[in-house]
């Protein structure tokens, strides 16, 4: 499984009451959804593109799905 596939899998699992996924880059922070926009190709099907940000100050990496 590629990292990109893993991130997509993680993103689709995110729900308000679930624990945030651990950042795959640093393994310490957690990924927060900071932006959700309709997917440019599949938005009509209800697919969203998520922007995730690691909450670890030393990392803070942005990830787009």
Interface residues with Zn ion (CB under 5 A) are 23, 25-26, 29, 54, 56, 59
CB of 23 to Zn ion, least distance (A): 3
CB atoms within 10 A of CB 59: 14
Minimum CB distance to Zn ion smaller for 29 or for 50: 29
CA–CA distance, 27 with 45 (Å, rounded to integer): 33
Minimum CB distance to Zn ion smaller for 41 or for 57: 57
Minimum CB distance to Zn ion smaller for 13 or for 47: 13
CA–CA distance, 33 with 45 (Å, rounded to integer): 20
């Amino acid at each position: 499984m590629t990292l990109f596939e893993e991130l997509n899998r993680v993103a689709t699992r995110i729900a308000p009451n679930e624990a945030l996924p651990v950042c795959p880059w640093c393994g310490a922070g957690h990924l927060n959804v900071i932006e959700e926009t309709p997917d440019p190709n599949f938005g009509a099907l209800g697919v969203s593109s998520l922007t995730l940000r690691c909450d670890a100050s030393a990392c803070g990496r942005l990830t787009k799905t």
